[in-house]
């Protein structure tokens, strides 16, 4: 019977001895060689599983160690000795793992599994987790987050004090209060700032910011109402918080998988942008729907939102952006779907 | 990458004999310099890594402990001193147990954060006394499961020493505005090295505080310049863009994106410098000041090479959505391990086993989680 060359260490010193290793029919391991004083027999020895072609160190019950570098010979010897006995389940599992990770076909299968799981998690898992997070986050914590963001923008003088006439402001505030009451949204407040460009956005915690420039840009008050309704839709869905939760859930998963926060952060940097954009488009659609519903109830044409968005887009020249790259569905799409919605609803009943 | 610098472990002794199971004679003890060799292959390691990730996902994370051992065994088994590779012997079940305990501690802490930030700080304060324990256990677990020529490394640091060099020295650094930081890092390194051993031999440390001060002063100056210059530049860009920006009523605040990206870029640059300069120099200095009996070590890493390795690895990881991670590790180890030299004055056969008892992995896992891992 062939033996496998090994290096024998007695477990007491770093001195090594050349030896040969083989198994008896009963599965006992025998170490023997000219440099050893006697033939050594061990029962119940566990052969470590194979990792690529790295040396295998067999740790023997008395603390001695047998190092085998010829992995193929060791595997062959074990297969031959097993004869008809079934292979222990543990060994079979590790042989399968070795087959997977020593061939490109196995690696491709693993890659397919990883891609599928990551995609499904992004698509369904993360939003579900985010809903849970959003539901359990106290309103005060969210408001604090929004307040910090707002303070930062003001400190950096990105946002400056509004120069709107008090009357104009009060009219819009009153309209916003009415909208809140009608739509049943509790935590929301409207603030005006000057930014240098027409814009409106919702912060976590329910603060909606509208810029002076947007108020001036609007050709009709109903357009401002439409934008406010859209932003209130973001507040109602707690979209900013939800988006943050979805993205950090993905980071957490990848950190758990790679076992290193900095490596995981680097890995999700690229996909994060794409994913954030795609989540964000979902949110825009939800806010558009919320706005259209409200506007119909309030007797305002939902096309007002599409109108002002389209003009804004023309003005700033972002219309040529492909939809999948932009966080907002193209204004033309939104105007169209708003009109379809208005068409559906406006049909006179019997 | 840091935690897998593990295989660059101390004190491997190699025979002065040709490969292929030579018989050892104790006569070859004249001093000679030996280089560590790294034979890991990026493609081979990628396959092991991706199968590990897949099995971890399919088993809802349970396999991660076995995955860690398998990956480490691959890396250790490809680090050679002469014709002896290193051996990693951690028990995956111990690692899994450590991770479960860690989860049981961390989940309530992060829940506390959701209830009130005050509870969160209270929880962190309560956990502080655990830090020295975690440090000691992590290092013991790591060292006792690293072997060379069948003998294990060991770490015998005690709780109160670790308490001095971890939480208490952090406090001292804060109180003195960082002035004693280099001194405490020196003390920490001496603690880590002199409590380490291979077989029955203990490591010695010949480092002095002076070089630590030099490294930290250079780092502070460069990071200061990067930070001030970077913030100024970002503000310029953000303010400039917000003046000219187009309208886009949406969820996100205007130019918060640009601001965040700018801030991230500065943080990234600072981290890159700290990794390529400070961490590298600290690693080299610690090794160059370490002794094992009559053996000395030498590790010289060049700043431009490390900068290039870190920057190109980071860029490749970002663009491949993380698939480059295994290749990045191999590239990194090939350079670092290849530069490691051992000046051997002792008979590699003459080491004897030390006393040891097994150490749980909870500390090791917690250390990995908190980025405390010291990967010598």
Question: Could you give the percent of chain A with pLDDT greater than 70?
Answer: 88
pLDDT of residue A346: 41
H runs (alpha helix) in chain A: 71-82, 89-101, 104-120, 126-136, 139-155, 166-183, 212-217, 221-237, 239-258, 261-297, 303-316, 331-346
Cα torsion through B41, B42, B45, B46, rounded to 10: -160
Residue B323 inside a domain? The answer is yes
Answer yes or no: is B23 within a domain: yes
Q: Counting Cβ atoms within 10 Å, is residue A246 exposed (0-12), middle (13-18) or buried (19+)?
A: buried
Kindly state whether residues B332 and B184 are assigned to the same domain. Answer: yes
**Taking the CB of residue B279, how many other CB atoms lie within 10 A of it?**
18
> Dihedral angle at the C-alpha atoms of A114, A117, A122, A125, nearest 10 degrees?
-150
Contact status of A51 with chain B (Cβ, < 8 Å): yes
Between A107 and A159, the more confident residue is A107
Any domain includes B278? yes
Residue B224's Cβ-side half-sphere holds a number of Cα atoms within 13 Å equal to 6
Domain boundary among B288, B311, B344: B288
Looking at the fold, whether B192 and B222 belong to one and the same domain comes out as no
Last residue of a domain, one of B288, B314, B335: B288
pLDDT score at A142: 84
Does residue B375 form part of some domain? no
pLDDT tens per residue, range B44-64: 999 999 999 999 999 998 999
Whether A132 has a pLDDT exceeding 60, the answer reads yes
> Is any Cβ of chain A less than 8 angstroms from the Cβ of B185?
no
Chain B positions touching A100 (Cβ under 8 A) are 47, 51
B246·A316 Cβ contact <8 A:
yes
What is the domain count for chain B? 2
Give the tokens for residue B247: 């309208």
Among residues B288, B307, B327, the one where a domain terminates is B288
Name the band, by pLDDT with cuts 50, 70 and 90, for residue A327: very low
Q: Which of A173-177, A264-268, B232-236 has the highest mean pLDDT?
A: A173-177
Above 90 in pLDDT, residue B209? yes
User: What is the least distance, in Å, from the CA of A121 to any CA of chain B?
Assistant: 11
Q: Are residues B6 and B104 in the same domain?
A: yes
My answer on whether B110 and B220 are in the same domain is no
How far B311 CA sits from the closest chain A CA (Å)?
A: 11
Q: Are residues B296 and B181 in the same domain?
A: yes
B78 CB-near residues (< 8 Å, 6+ apart)? A54, B7, B38, B39, B40, B85
Of A238, A243, A242, nearest to A205 (Cα)?
A: A238
The pLDDT of residue A26 is: 79
Residues A80 and A1: their CA atoms lie apart, in Å, by: 10
Cβ partners under 8 Å of residue A226, min gap 6: A291, A295, A300, A302, A304, A305, A308
- The DSSP output letter for A109 is H
Q: What confidence category does residue B240 fall into, taking pLDDT thresholds of 50, 70 and 90?
A: low
In a domain, residue B376? The reply is no
- Model confidence at A319, pLDDT cuts 50, 70, 90, reads very low
Q: What does the alpha-carbon distance between residue A340 and residue B151 come to, in Å, rounded to a whole number? A: 77
How far apart are the C-alpha atoms of B182 and B281, rounded to whole Å?
Answer: 13
Task: Please indicate whether, in this complex, the C-beta atoms of B55 and A97 are within 8 angstroms of each other.
Answer: yes
Same domain membership, residue B201 and residue B261: no
Whether residues B202 and B93 fall in one domain:
yes
B264 versus B128: which is more confidently predicted?
A: B128
Q: What is the pLDDT of residue B289?
A: 96
Whether B271 and B317 map to the same domain: the answer is no
Q: How far apart are CA A270 and CA A265, in angstroms?
A: 10
| Burial of B48 per CB tally in 10 Å (0-12, 13-18, 19+) | buried
Q: What is the pLDDT of residue B252?
A: 39
Does residue A325 carry a pLDDT above 60? Answer: no
Pick the more confident residue, A104 or A287: A104
Q: What is the mean pLDDT of chain B?
A: 82
Confidence of residue A61 (pLDDT cuts 50, 70, 90): confident
Query: What DSSP state is assigned to residue B19?
Result: S
Per-residue pLDDT reduced to its tens digit, A64-93:
999 999 999 998 888 877 766 777 888 889
Whether residue B168 sits in one domain with residue B111? yes
Is B255's pLDDT higher than 70?
Answer: no
The pLDDT value given to residue A80: 76
CB A191 within 8 A of CB A176: no
Percent of chain A with pLDDT over 90: 21
Residue B74's domain comprises 2-207+289-369
Domains of chain A: 4-101 (2.30.29), 118-346 (no CATH)
Is B24 an interface residue toward A (CB < 8 Å)? Answer: yes
Q: How far is CA A190 from CA A157, A187, A235, B108, in A?
A: 19, 10, 11, 36
Q: How confident is the model at residue A316 (pLDDT cuts 50, 70, 90)?
A: low
What pLDDT shows up at residue A330? 55
Same domain as B167, residue B60: yes
Answer yes or no: is B30 within a domain: yes
Q: How far apart are CA A309 and CA A306, in angstroms?
A: 5
- Is B235 found in the same domain as B93? no
Q: What is the mean pLDDT of residues A173-200?
A: 87
Asked if residue B73 has pLDDT above 90, the reply is: yes
Q: Report whether A246 contacts A237 (CB < 8 A).
A: no
Are residues B255 and B350 both part of a single domain? Answer: no
> pLDDT tens digit string along B326-354?
999 999 999 999 999 999 988 888 888 87
- Tell me the mean pLDDT in the region B103-131: 81
Residue B202, in any domain of the structure: yes
Asked if residue B25 belongs to a domain, the reply is yes
């Amino acid at each position: 019977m062939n033996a496998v060359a090994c290096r024998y260490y007695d477990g007491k010193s770093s001195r090594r001895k050349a030896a040969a290793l083989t198994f008896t029919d009963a599965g006992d391991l025998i170490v023997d060689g000219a440099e050893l004083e006697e033939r050594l027999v061990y029962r119940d020895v566990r052969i470590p599983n194979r990792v690529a072609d790295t040396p295998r160190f067999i740790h023997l019950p008395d603390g001695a160690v047998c190092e085998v570098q010829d992995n193929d010979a060791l595997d062959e010897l074990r297969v031959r000795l097993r004869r008809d006995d079934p292979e222990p389940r543990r060994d079979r599992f590790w042989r399968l793992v070795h087959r997977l990770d020593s061939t490109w076909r196995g690696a491709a299968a693993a890659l397919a599994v990883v891609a599928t799981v990551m995609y499904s998690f992004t698509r369904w898992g993360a939003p579900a987790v985010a809903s849970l997070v959003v539901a359990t986050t106290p309103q005060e914590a969210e408001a604090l987050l929004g307040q910090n963001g707002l303070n930062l923008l003001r400190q950096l003088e990105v946002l400056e004090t509004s120069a709107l006439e008090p009357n104009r402001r009060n009219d819009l505030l009153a309209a916003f209060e009415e909208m809140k009451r009608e739509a049943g949204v509790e935590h929301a407040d409207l603030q005006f700032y000057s930014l240098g460009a027409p814009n409106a956005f919702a912060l976590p915690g329910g603060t909606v910011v509208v810029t002076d420039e947007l108020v001036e840009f609007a050709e009709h008050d109903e357009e401002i109402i439409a934008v406010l309704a859209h932003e209130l839709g973001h507040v109602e869905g707690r979209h900013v918080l939800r988006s943050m939760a979805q993205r950090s859930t993905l980071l957490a998963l990848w950190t758990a998988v790679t076992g290193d926060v900095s490596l995981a952060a680097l890995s999700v940097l690229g996909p994060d942008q794409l994913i954030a954009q795609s989540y964000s488009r979902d949110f825009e659609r939800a806010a558009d729907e919320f706005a259209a519903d409200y506007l119909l109830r309030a007797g305002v044409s939902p096309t007002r939102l599409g109108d002002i968005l389209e003009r804004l887009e023309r003005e700033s020249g972002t219309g040529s952006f492909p939809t999948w790259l932009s966080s907002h569905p193209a204004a033309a799409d939104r105007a169209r779907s708003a009109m379809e919605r208005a068409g559906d609803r406006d049909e006179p009943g019997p | 990458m840091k935690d897998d610098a593990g295989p660059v472990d101390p004190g491997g002794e190699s025979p002065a004999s040709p490969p292929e199971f030579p018989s050892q004679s104790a006569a070859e003890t004249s001093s000679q310099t030996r280089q560590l060799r790294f034979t890991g292959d990026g493609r081979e390691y990628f396959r092991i890594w991706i199968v590990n990730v897949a099995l971890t996902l399919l088993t809802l994370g349970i396999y991660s402990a076995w995955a860690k051992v398998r990956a480490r065994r691959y890396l250790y088994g490809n680090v050679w001193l002469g014709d002896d590779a290193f051996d990693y012997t951690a028990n995956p079940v111990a690692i899994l147990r450590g991770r479960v305990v860690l989860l049981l501690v961390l989940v309530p802490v992060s829940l506390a954060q959701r209830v009130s930030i005050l509870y969160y700080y209270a929880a962190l304060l309560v956990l502080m006394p655990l830090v020295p324990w975690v440090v000691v256990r992590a290092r013991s677990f790591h060292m006792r499961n690293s072997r060379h020529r069948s003998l294990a490394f060991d770490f015998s640091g005690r709780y109160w020493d670790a308490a001095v060099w971890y939480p208490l020295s952090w406090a001292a650094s804060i109180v003195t505005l960082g002035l004693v930081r280099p001194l405490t890092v020196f003390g920490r390194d001496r603690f880590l090295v002199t409590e380490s051993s291979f077989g029955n031999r203990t490591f010695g440390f010949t480092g002095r505080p002076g070089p630590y001060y030099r490294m930290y002063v250079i780092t502070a100056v460069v990071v200061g310049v990067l930070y001030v210059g970077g913030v100024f530049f970002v503000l310029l860009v953000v303010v400039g863009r917000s003046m000219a920006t187009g309208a886009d009523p949406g969820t996100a605040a205007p130019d918060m994106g640009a601001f965040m990206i700018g801030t991230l870029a500065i943080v990234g640059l600072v981290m890159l410098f700290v990794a390529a300069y400070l961490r590298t120099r600290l690693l080299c200095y610690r090794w160059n000041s370490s002794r094992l009996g009559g053996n000395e070590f030498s590790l010289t890493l060049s700043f431009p090479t490390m900068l290039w390795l870190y920057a190109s690895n980071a860029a490749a990881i970002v663009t491949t959505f993380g698939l480059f991670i295994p290749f990045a590790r191999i590239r990194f180890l090939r350079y670092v391990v290849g530069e490691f030299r051992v000046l051997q004055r002792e008979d590699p056969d003459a080491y004897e086993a030390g006393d040891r008892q097994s150490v749980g992995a909870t500390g090791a896992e917690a250390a990995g989680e908190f980025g405390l891992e010291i990967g010598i």
